[in-house]
């Protein structure tokens, strides 16, 4: 039995290491990974009844979304807009970001206080789901067809994301 525990203990860190250290290789992979993280957090929020757990999940959602929108707005969107000569997708995405930022401001740092708090988080999740669908079905396929170096863009976005996450604690 001691051997089994040692073996299990040795395997557990090996499984966690690649997920923590291996950053997605390109910009779109990075953004898709962020979308998955946030989607999972919204699902967790829907399932929990504990106010303390809700507050913790919402804090993480707000952190993830704030950093994600910032790297998109600073790095990804300007590159895509220029490459596509876009006057629709990126401006629409920026407007969607503004709506989500408004909802973040209404819940971030607040104590869950009932149905209005829950409603704000639910609507935020719906806005994010809609936004993600448009990015993944429209913007990303068009961006992939450009001459943008998605790996270099991804490296720049990863570095900026790490800076922003560290600054947010």
Q: Do the Cβ atoms of 104 and 124 come closer than 8 Å?
A: yes
Q: How far is CA 21 from CA 18, 24, 38, 54, 70, in A?
A: 5, 10, 19, 28, 22
What's the CA gap between 89 and 84, in Å, rounded? Answer: 10
Q: What is the pLDDT of residues 36-85, one digit of tens each?
A: 999 999 999 999 999 999 999 999 999 999 999 999 999 999 999 999 99
Q: What is the pLDDT of residues 32-45, one digit of tens each?
A: 999 999 999 999 99
Instruction: Determine phi and psi for 103, rounding to 5 degrees.
Output: -70, -35
Number of neighbouring beta carbons within 10 Å of residue 72? 23
Number of neighbouring beta carbons within 10 Å of residue 139? 23
The model's pTM is: 0.84
- And the tokens for 107? 């819940």
Q: Do the Cβ atoms of 71 and 168 come closer than 8 Å?
A: no
Residue 13: burial class (beta carbons within 10 Å; 0-12, 13-18, 19+):
exposed
**Is 25-168 in CATH node 1.10.150.130?**
no
- What are the boundaries of each domain within the chain? 25-168
Q: What is the pLDDT of residues 117-133, one digit of tens each?
A: 999 999 999 999 999 99
User: What is the 8-class DSSP label of residue 111?
Assistant: P
């Amino acid at each position: 039995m001691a051997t089994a525990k040692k073996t299990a203990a040795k395997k557990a860190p090996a499984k966690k290491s690649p997920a923590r250290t291996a950053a997605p290789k390109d910009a779109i992979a990075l953004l898709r990974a962020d979308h998955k993280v946030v989607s999972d957090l919204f699902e967790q929020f829907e399932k929990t009844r504990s106010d303390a757990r809700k507050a913790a999940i919402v804090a993480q959602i707000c952190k993830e979304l704030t950093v994600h929108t910032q790297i998109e707005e600073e790095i990804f969107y300007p590159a895509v807009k220029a490459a596509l000569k876009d006057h629709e997708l990126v401006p629409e995405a920026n407007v969607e970001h503004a709506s989500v930022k408004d909802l973040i401001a209404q819940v971030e740092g607040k104590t869950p206080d009932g149905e209005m708090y829950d409603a704000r988080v639910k609507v935020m999740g719906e806005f994010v789901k809609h936004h993600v669908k448009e990015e993944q079905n429209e913007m990303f396929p068009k961006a992939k067809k450009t001459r943008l170096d998605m790996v270099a863009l991804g490296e720049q976005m990863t570095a900026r994301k790490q800076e922003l996450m560290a600054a947010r604690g």
